[in-house]
Amino acid sequence: MKAASRTTARRRLDEETLMRLEAEHPEGLTAAQIVETFLERGEHLSEATFRKWVQLGLLPRSRRVGRKGKHQGSLGLYPTSTLRRITEIKRWMEESLTIEDIARAIRFRDEMQTIERGLEGLSAAFEQELASPEADLRARRENVRLLGDTRRQAGELMRRMELLERRIVTPLVRAAKARAFGTGATKGAGDLL
CB 144 within 8 A of CB 130: yes
Summarised one tens digit per residue, pLDDT across range 2-52 is 444 444 456 778 889 889 999 999 999 999 999 999 999 889 999 999 999
CB 86 within 8 A of CB 59: yes
Sign of CA dihedral 88, 93, 99, 103: negative
**What's residue 8's pLDDT?**
40
**What's residue 1's pLDDT?**
41
Summarised one tens digit per residue, pLDDT across range 74-113 is 688 999 999 999 999 998 888 888 888 888 888 888 889 8
Q: 5 in a domain, yes or no? A: no
Q: Both 81 and 113 in a single domain? A: no
Domain total for the chain? Answer: 2
Q: Both 114 and 179 in a single domain? A: yes
Q: Both 19 and 89 in a single domain? A: yes
**What's residue 71's pLDDT?**
58
Contacts of 15 (CB under 8 A, 6+ apart): none
**What's residue 63's pLDDT?**
86
Q: Both 110 and 83 in a single domain? A: no
Q: Both 118 and 184 in a single domain? A: yes
Q: For the domain that residue 24 is a member of, what is the CATH number?
A: 1.10.1660
Q: 6 in a domain, yes or no? A: no
Q: 113 in a domain, yes or no? A: yes
**Helix, coil or strand: residue 27:** coil
For the chain, what is the radius of gyration of the CA atoms?
A: 21
Q: 193 in a domain, yes or no? A: no
Q: Both 101 and 123 in a single domain? A: yes
pLDDT above 90: residue 143:
yes
Q: 1 in a domain, yes or no? A: no
Q: Both 130 and 169 in a single domain? A: yes
Q: Both 80 and 132 in a single domain? A: no
Q: Both 117 and 167 in a single domain? A: yes
Q: 55 in a domain, yes or no? A: yes
Q: 3 in a domain, yes or no? A: no
What percent of the chain shows pLDDT beyond 70? 84
Q: Which domain holds residue 120?
A: 97-188
pLDDT above 80: residue 150:
yes
Integer Cα distance of 13 and 79 in angstroms: 16
* DSSP character at residue 80: T
